[in-house]
Structure 1
Amino acid sequence: MPTTIMGILNLTPDSFSDGGRFDDGAGSPDVVAAVTEALRMAQLGAEIIDVGGESTRPGARPTPAEEEQRRILPVLGELLRCRMSVSVDTRRAATALAALKCADEAGADPRSLIINDVSGLLTEPAMPELIAETGAQIVITHNRGDSQTMSSLTVYDSLVEDVIDELLQLRERYLAAGARREQIILDPGIGFSKTHEQNWELIRELESFVRLGHRVLFGASRKGFLGSVVGEPTGGREPDAGSGDAAAAGAAHPLAHPRDHATAVLSALAAQAGAWGVRVHDVQGSRDAVQVISKLRS
């Protein structure tokens, strides 16, 4: 089967690429605009919509759980009522529980919901128990520290081996809590507690993660390490695909980002390596890339 496309729907004011795109002007998410964008991504080939209410870019300030839930739950409920497959990008067990309750209220099977947790070694103790009890799916991401500290935690004895070992330690927490192997998706954590060169090394060795026997999610879309390769000027915030009047309207196709072509190349490489899914901002480019790989492999 072709690699799954997970489309990113950031409901944050400060995400590195598209923060504030769905702000209603009064500090709340524009639910109609956000759902419209999710439907657009689905039409372009996104099989899962990844909804997030907290930026986890390096240096980002933590978002209180109540604020995170205020941003995502109204949109999540609408997406679930539209019978869309959804992933919730959260580090907090309380937000994951609120999302699962939202799924139940919308008539969705909690086991179909994916919790995309990038907290890595700082995973909250309650998260494995929640996943085991509810049967929801979980993305376990390799990470050290939080947004404030992870950039200083990039020393490894042997990068690939250490990342795999720490991922498997995290996996054991879930298995020990009673989660089933089929619920678990692994993510090597590109951009989290890694230098630019370490990101490239992990990408070269992506098959090592696939061989662990779990679904593997690959998320490198528009991340900073691509900037030096595509010749962007340094300094300042990354070009924003969701600024201006088009963003306020919410329905317009986002402007092309200078890292989207490079992201599509990596999506193709991830598909070639056997990754189950790629998490991307630009759905169409990565959809085309993984379909080409699927055709070649067939």
Structure 2
Amino acid sequence: MTATLHVTASTHPGTPDVHPYGLPRPGRALVMGVVNVTPDSFSDGGRSFAPEAAVAHGLALLEQGADIVDVGGESTRPGAGRPSAEEELRRVLPVVRELAAAGALVSVDTMRAEVAARALDAGARMVNDVSGGLADPAMLPLMARADMPYVLMHWRGHSAGMRANAVYGDVVTDVVGELRLRTGAALEAGIPPGRLIVDPGLGFAKEAEHNWQLLARLGEVRALGHPVLVGASRKSFLGQVLADPTTGQPRPAPLRDAATTAVSVLAAAQGAWCLRVHDVASTLDAVRVTARWGAEAAPAP
């Protein structure tokens, strides 16, 4: 299928104009800044592992204009092991509490219902679950009770074994179908439809070509009827495109921000609701420009 790029400020023909309750509506794609409170992040190598450093980083992202600050205490890079629930709580709760007190709209990036519940109590206003409720059966009931925005990502298993699950017929059709099952389960659990956000899960049980196909056909993910979060920032498929022409070595993660910005523009132009990124300032500039361009490109009513 050939992707068609429709650039508009807010709505796209044939897809619903949806937005989660209680979150900003600035007339452009939102920008979510990443705060990894882990010692083994693929992107920053544990630079914000100490709570004080993580809070400072989150405040810097807020100063740069992040609409949402996403705090996570478990690395989900391919092959990563899992911390205990106690360790994850130790990592994220002080950071969530401090950032929320400073006025940030905080999302907690967790697969555990216990961590989500404690983070919400500490001031988080959104849960970003990369497992889409599959890792912890208590998550969907919790989110139904909490009545907060909830991100369901496409997921096929924990990081340690995700590569073996990167097998698809048509990746976009398969991902959309599996996300439809997860949103159905969430609705059945009692989560209001206006609280649900979907994420195609770039890099999670997906090879580089799968990620590119999902990005090119993002409209099919939007057709599920829920806002779409895209997390492409600094991921390895970008490093492969930017590989050194002499050695073939992929470009290191910290040097992939310009490529991330390009992907963010293309995703925003296809109607992505939010971009999850490490470098907020460049992405915010990019989505502002994309929205302004879209205002001119949109067909007259």
Q: What TM-score do you get using the length of structure 1 for normalisation?
A: 0.86
Listed as ranges, the matches of 1:194-209 within 5 Å are: 194-209=206-221
Q: Equivalent residue for 1:178? A: 190
* Structure-2 separation of matches of 1:19 and 1:177: 37
Equivalent residue for 1:7, pick from 14, 33, 40: 33
1:143 aligned partner, one-letter code: W
* Structure-2 separation of matches of 1:129 and 1:18: 34
1:116 aligned partner, one-letter code: N
* Structure-2 separation of matches of 1:296 and 1:221: 23
Deviation string, structure 1 residues 11-61 (Cα, Å, up to 9, x no partner): 1000101132124xxxxx232x32222122112121100001010000001
Q: Equivalent residue for 1:66? A: 86
Equivalent residue for 2:45, pick from 19, 24, 29: 19
Deviation string, structure 1 residues 191-220 (Cα, Å, up to 9, x no partner): 001111111010100111112211110001
Q: What TM-score do you get using the length of structure 2 for normalisation?
A: 0.85
1:15 aligned partner, one-letter code: S
* Structure-1 separation of matches of 2:203 and 2:275: 14
Residues 120, 144 of structure 1: 8 Å contact kept = no
Residues 138, 183 of structure 1: 8 Å contact kept = yes
* Structure-1 separation of matches of 2:156 and 2:165: 6
1:294 aligned partner, one-letter code: A
* Structure-2 separation of matches of 1:231 and 1:83: 40
* Structure-1 separation of matches of 2:116 and 2:133: 18
Q: Equivalent residue for 1:132? A: 144
Residues 121, 145 of structure 1: 8 Å contact kept = no
- Aligned-residue CA RMSD (Å): 1.6
Equivalent residue for 2:261, pick from 260, 264, 267: 264
> What are structure 1's unaligned runs of at least 5 residues?
24-28, 104-109, 241-256
Residues 121, 166 of structure 1: 8 Å contact kept = no
* Structure-1 separation of matches of 2:194 and 2:142: 15
2:41 aligned partner, one-letter code: S
* Structure-1 separation of matches of 2:249 and 2:133: 30
Matched, 1:77 2:103: no
SS at match of 2:159: coil
* Structure-2 separation of matches of 1:144 and 1:199: 15
Q: Equivalent residue for 1:279? A: 276
* Structure-1 separation of matches of 2:199 and 2:37: 22
SS at match of 1:97: helix
Instruction: State the 1:122 CA deviation.
Output: 2.9
Deviation string, structure 1 residues 42-89 (Cα, Å, up to 9, x no partner): 121211000010100000011111101100100110111112101100
> What are structure 2's unaligned runs of at least 5 residues?
1-26, 296-301
Equivalent residue for 1:99, pick from 119, 127, 143: 119
2:108 aligned partner, one-letter code: V
Residues 218, 267 of structure 2: 8 Å contact kept = yes
SS at match of 2:241: coil
Q: Equivalent residue for 2:13? A: none
Matched, 1:30 2:61: no
Q: Equivalent residue for 1:253? A: none
The count of residues paired between Structure 1 and Structure 2 equals: 267
Flag the 1:45–1:224 CA change in 2: closer, same or farther, 3 A. same
Residues 58, 147 of structure 1: 8 Å contact kept = yes
* Structure-2 separation of matches of 1:120 and 1:224: 22
1:80 aligned partner, one-letter code: A
Deviation string, structure 1 residues 196-245 (Cα, Å, up to 9, x no partner): 11110101001111122111100010000111111246669x747xxxxx
Equivalent residue for 1:223, pick from 235, 242, 245: 235
Residues 114, 136 of structure 1: 8 Å contact kept = yes
1:138 aligned partner, one-letter code: Y
* Structure-2 separation of matches of 1:53 and 1:164: 28
SS at match of 1:149: helix
Structure 1 runs of 4+ aligned residues shifted over 6 Å read none
* Structure-1 separation of matches of 2:89 and 2:151: 19
Q: Equivalent residue for 1:116? A: 128
Instruction: State the 1:289 CA deviation.
Output: 1.2
